[in-house]
Amino acid sequence: MFKSGVVFSLILISLAAVYISGCRRAGTWLVKEALPAHADAMVLLMGSFPERVLEAADLYHEGKAGRILIVYEGMGPYHILESRGAEVIRTTEQAHNAAVALGVPADSITMLPGDARSTLDEALAVRSFIKDKPDIDTLLLVSSPAHMRRAAMIFKSALRNLPDEVYVGCTPSSYSGFNPDRWWQRREDIQVVLSEFLKIGIFQLIEKRRLK
């Protein structure tokens, strides 16, 4: 079973590599942007949080949204570290503190439970939070540029079956070093693009079933 999974993953990676090598616009396709005039809440996705926090703080001060949602990120057995006396500052707490330091009022930030290990987990946590809140019908996702297309796919799928329709906007961080027009010229960008296409494939083939 394990060997089959490895072979399947290698096939996907190979197919993605072949396709992307002949598609120079792959990087720009990943960078989806759809900025609404105003959102009821902004979702700060975890990952490369410094560039994302900076973008979220800018958007908040521009009046694009008056509330920021952050889902607690899973950090493995950090509870064991704490039980042994180690002081652990979770990534989500760092993001919260950074946003406050950038002038976002603490009472404008809502921390959502979730122990999220993926964007899909974050989407499910946000869905659970807003399902009984008809006043939230427009969300604005803030993430890294290459992550934006997949994040929008996941959130739109997760929120599709809510009683009231929710518009999902997205803004890629302008503080990222990712170059979508020349992604094939830098190793880090190549790795990001290949990874994102692989994860999009996994979402469409496997993870999307969790949303039904």
Stated pTM of the model: 0.85
Q: How many CA atoms are closer than 13 Å to the CA of 128, on its beta-carbon side?
A: 11
Alpha helices in the chain (DSSP H): 2-21, 26-30, 49-61, 78-83, 91-101, 119-130, 148-159, 187-205
Q: What's phi and psi for 70, nearest 5 deg?
A: -130, 125
Strands 109-116 and 68-73: parallel
Distance CA 204, CA 42 (A): 25
Q: How many CA atoms are closer than 13 Å to the CA of 91, on its beta-carbon side?
A: 20
Domain ranges of the chain: 1-28+181-212, 32-177
Q: pLDDT tens digits, the chain, 212 residues: what are they? A: 555 566 566 566 656 665 555 577 889 999 999 999 999 999 999 988 899 999 999 999 999 999 999 999 887 777 777 777 777 788 899 999 999 999 999 999 999 998 899 999 999 999 999 998 989 999 999 999 999 999 999 999 999 988 889 999 999 999 999 999 999 899 999 999 999 999 999 999 988 887 76
Strands 41-44 and 138-143: parallel
Written out in words, the top-level CATH class of the domain with range 32-177 is alpha beta
202 to 2, 19, 197, 198, 205: CA distances (angstroms) = 16, 16, 9, 6, 5
Tokens representing residue 134 in the block: 């008809």
